[in-house]
Amino acid sequence: MSGETGAKRLNSGIRRGEQIEFYFDGQPLKAFKGETIAAALMASGHMVARTIDSQPLGVYCNIGVCHSCLMTVNGVKSVRTCRTQVTEGCKVETQHFERTR
Ligand code: FES
């Protein structure tokens, strides 16, 4: 998948904020100010926010209810990335959960 902005964004009739750079699992990606982290990741082709028992989960509700999009942001665990704006230089990491039996 492409790491470039514009890969999955609407490109006509849209006014965007300033272009910025952030990091996803150490990989630099482009985004625009005002986007949520989840939106910026999806626009870059990254659909997995976390895993449970190695099974991938991505954005589900996109309104802050389901917690499917929890990721580590700047060292803070379990941030709802669908409700958090991406910022210049922020570090976003996939979270991995294991169920206890
Ligand atoms: S996708 Fe449901 S809380 Fe973020």
Tokens of 43: 């626009």
Which range in 2-6, 9-13, 37-41, 45-49 is most confidently predicted, on average pLDDT? 37-41
Let me know if residue 8 belongs to a domain. no
Q: Name every protein residue with a CB atom under 6 angstroms from any ligand 1 atom.
A: 59-62, 64-69, 80, 82
CATH code at 30?
Answer: 3.10.20.440
Q: Which residue has the tokens 């700047």?
A: 74
Predicted confidence at residue 7, as pLDDT, reads: 58
Please report the atom of ligand 1 found closest to the CA of residue 59.
1
Pocket test for ligand 1, best of 47, 57, 59, 84 (most atoms within 8 A of CB): 59
What Rg, from alpha-carbon coordinates, does the chain have? 13
Let me know if residue 83 belongs to a domain. yes
Is pLDDT at 46 greater than 60 in this prediction? yes
Query: Model's pTM, two decimal places?
Result: 0.88
Q: CA–CA separation, 49 vs 51, rounded Å?
A: 7
Predicted confidence at residue 3, as pLDDT, reads: 39
Per residue in 81-94, pLDDT (tens digit) is 999 999 999 999 99
Let me know if residue 11 belongs to a domain. no
The domain tally of the chain equals 1
Confidence category of residue 25, pLDDT binned at 50, 70, 90: very high
**In this structure, are residues 48 and 94 in contact, taking their beta carbons and an 8 Å threshold?**
yes
